Amino acid sequence: DTGVSQDPRHKITKRGQNVTFRCDPISEHNRLYWYRQTLGQGPEFLTYFQNEAQLEKSRLLSDRFSAERPKGSFSTLEIQRTEQGDSAMYLCASSWGGEPQHFGDGTRLSIL
């Protein structure tokens, strides 16, 4: 069990640029979640995959955000035309069935 891995750990970009984050879940986990966490807040749910199917998206996930999980393994979260308000920690979690979610260390996004 190597844990949930997220890459990069930090991303600094200019407003208007596109960014992509990667999450590698624990290998046997079929469920994958993305959350966003801003300073002083708890995580907020963004989207959820069961295997390769994206089954739910939060209203927080505007049309500038897209997530994929090809082949039900790793997942990517892309943000197009970044805005100042996108600055946050993006957390990925995975689980097997209804078991508790295991979290990665997150990707911290800073928009200049």
Partner 1 sequence: AQSVTQPDIHITVSEGASLELRCNYSYGATPYLFWYVQSPGQGLQLLLKYFSGDTLVQGIKGFEAEFKRSQSSFNLRKPSVHWSDAAEYFCAVGPNAGNNRKLIWGLGTSLGVNP
Closest distance between partner 1 and the C-beta of residue 75, in Å? Answer: 15
Residue 77 binding partner 1, by CB under 8 A? no
Specify the stretch interacting with partner 1 by CB under 8 A; choose among 20-28, 64-72, 75-83, 92-100. 92-100
Q: Of 11-19, 42-50, 59-67, 74-82, which segment contacts partner 1 by CB under 8 A?
A: 42-50
Shorter beta-carbon distance to partner 1: residue 56 or 83: 56
3 state SS of 66: strand
User: What's the DSSP call for residue 16?
Assistant: T
Q: Can you say whether residue 62 is alpha, beta or left, with left for phi > 0 and alpha for psi between -120 and 50 degrees?
A: beta
**CB of residue 33 vs partner 1: minimum separation in angstroms?**
7
Q: Binding to partner 1 by residue 42, rule CB under 8 A?
A: yes
Q: What are phi and psi of 84, to 5 degrees?
A: -55, -40
DSSP string of 32-62, one letter each residue: EEEEEE-TTS--EEEEEEETTEEEEE-TTS-
The encoded tokens of residue 31 equal: 């469920």
List of residues contacting partner 1 (CB under 8 A): 4, 6, 31, 33, 35, 40-45, 48, 50, 55-56, 91, 93, 95, 98, 100-106, 108
